[in-house]
């Protein structure tokens, strides 16, 4: 039986169709979840995809966190349900308080759209449990505000608790400690700036997103 | 107007990056200044200015509501803080 994956759509999301394709490719049964509905519709996993939710007005994710669907996502996460936020989705999850830290404007004010080399730092998360620890994955990034930042205490906690999920091999945006993705204490909520749904075919230049997407479907 | 009418306060919120948080916009602006002949400018920080009006019983109530709004929405407390200025501008009808 394939797992049902809900892909949240806000006004301004733009990676949801790619994510539907990618999830079908790895054997999931994806469906869209409209931001205005306060339910995750009984799905087995939730993805908050990339884009510009609510136009990124005020701050990326600042308005999206108040969308009705987010209270359902928070409940789902609190019950242990797997939730992954990608790019703008990562920004939404930090604003919603489901993940620590914040995403700042890139160092050097550069919008970066390029393949990034990412090291899998832990396989103890819903997004990396089928990946290999230490593996280097080539997955594109595409953002202006992906510069992960948090206070020293939070950073120490993330390191001590093995919650840095992915690190950049070469830091593209100024992120503290080269962080590309982190998880929550329960390890069921993961946020990352790179786009695994864009690394699902040799035609796209890489298939390195597949082990991450498969992880989400492996229970 | 009645004895217990609400007052209108004009509120100005300045959202700033917390001290110690890198400011890529401020740095870029600062680096551009010498090329325009401004050589003695330093410490550039970029923030946001937000203005609105609040109906409240008194200044303390207006300030409390504005600060709550800042903490929960207008700033991201991980990287930003806010300065709230307000003044009475009339009586709510």
Mean pLDDT computed over A130-134: 96
**CATH tag, A4-217:** 3.40.50.880
Would you say B74 and B15 are in contact if contact means Cβ atoms under 8 Å apart? yes
Question: Which pair of tokens denotes residue A27?
Answer: 């054997």
Mean pLDDT computed over B15-24: 92
Per-residue confidence band for A126, with pLDDT thresholds at 50, 70 and 90: very high
Q: Tell me how close the Cα of A20 comes to any Cα of chain B, in angstroms.
A: 31
Residues 44-83 of A with CB under 8 A from B: 58-59, 62, 66
List, for residues A85-120, the tens digit of each pLDDT value: 999 999 999 999 999 999 999 998 899 999 999 999
Nearest in space to A8 (alpha carbons), one of A91, A128, A78: A91
Interface pTM (ipTM) of the complex?
Answer: 0.83
* Most A-contacting residue of B22, B24, B50 (CB-CB within 10 A), to test interface: B24
Per-residue confidence band for A1, with pLDDT thresholds at 50, 70 and 90: low
> Within an 8 Å CB–CB cutoff, is residue B41 touching chain A?
no
Domain residues of chain A, as ranges? 4-217
Domain residues of chain B, as ranges? 7-91
Q: Is B90 helix (H, G, I), strand (E, B) or coil?
A: strand
> Within an 8 Å CB–CB cutoff, is residue A102 touching chain B?
yes
Is residue B68 pLDDT above 50, yes or no?
yes
Mean pLDDT computed over B24-28: 90
Per-residue confidence (pLDDT) for residue B22, from 0 to 100: 87
> Domain B7-91 is in which class?
alpha beta
Chain A residue numbers touching B29 (CB-CB < 8 A)? none
List, for residues A8-67, the tens digit of each pLDDT value: 999 999 999 999 999 999 999 999 999 999 999 999 999 999 999 999 999 999 999 999
Mean pLDDT computed over B38-54: 95
Is residue A69 pLDDT above 60, yes or no?
yes
Per-residue confidence (pLDDT) for residue A164, from 0 to 100: 98
Would you say A118 and A180 are in contact if contact means Cβ atoms under 8 Å apart? yes
Nearest in space to B41 (alpha carbons), one of B32, B52, B53: B32
List, for residues A148-195, the tens digit of each pLDDT value: 999 999 999 999 999 999 999 999 999 999 999 999 999 999 999 999
Q: How far apart are CA B2 and CA B62, in angstroms?
A: 19
Angstrom CA distances, A31 to B31, B37, B77, stand at 47, 57, 34
Question: Can you give chain A as a three-state secondary structure string?
Answer: CCCEEEEEECCCECCHHHHHHHHHHCCCEEEEEECCCCCCCCCCEEEECCECHHHHCCCCCCCHHHCHHHHHHHHHHHCCCCEEEECHHHHHHHHCCCCCCEEECCHHHCCEEEEEEEEECCCCCCCCCCCCCCCEEEEEEEECCCEEECCHHHHHHHHHCCCEEEEECCCCCCCHHHEEEEECCCCCEEEECCCHHHCCEHHHCECCCHHHHHHHHCC
Q: How far apart are CA A163 and CA A182, in angstroms?
A: 6
Per-residue confidence (pLDDT) for residue B1, from 0 to 100: 47
């Amino acid at each position: 039986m394939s797992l049902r994956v809900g892909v949240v759509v806000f006004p301004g999301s733009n990676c949801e169709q790619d994510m539907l394709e990618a999830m079908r490719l790895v054997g999931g049964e994806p469906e869209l979840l409209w931001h205005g509905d306060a339910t995750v519709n009984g799905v087995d996993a939730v993805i908050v995809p990339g884009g510009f939710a609510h136009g990124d007005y005020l701050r990326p994710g600042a308005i999206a966190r108040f969308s009705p669907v987010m209270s359902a996502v928070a409940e789902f996460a609190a019950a242990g349900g797997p939730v992954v936020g990608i790019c703008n989705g990562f920004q939404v999850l930090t604003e919603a308080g489901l993940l620590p830290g914040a995403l700042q404007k890139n160092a050097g004010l550069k919008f970066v759209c390029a393949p990034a080399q990412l090291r899998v730092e832990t396989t103890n998360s819903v997004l990396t449990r089928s990946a290999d620890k230490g593996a280097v994955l080539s997955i594109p990034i595409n953002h202006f505000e992906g510069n992960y930042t948090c206070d020293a205490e939070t950073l120490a906690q993330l390191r001590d608790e093995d919650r840095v999920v992915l690190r950049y091999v070469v830091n593209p945006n100024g992120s503290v400690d080269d962080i590309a993705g982190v998880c929550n204490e329960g390890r069921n909520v993961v946020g990352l700036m790179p786009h695994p749904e864009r690394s699902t075919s040799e035609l796209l230049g890489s298939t390195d997103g597949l082990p991450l997407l498969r992880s989400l479907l492996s229970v | 107007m009645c004895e217990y009418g609400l007052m209108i306060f004009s509120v100005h919120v300045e959202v700033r990056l917390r001290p110690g948080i890198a400011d890529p916009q401020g740095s870029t602006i600062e680096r551009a200044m010498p090329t325009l002949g401004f050589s003695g400018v330093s410490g550039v920080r970029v923030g946001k200015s937000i203005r609105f009006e609040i109906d409240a019983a008194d200044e303390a109530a207006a300030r409390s509501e504005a600060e709550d709004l800042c903490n929960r929405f207008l700033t991201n407390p991980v990287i930003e803080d806010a300065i709230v200025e307000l003044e009475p501008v009339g009586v709510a009808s």
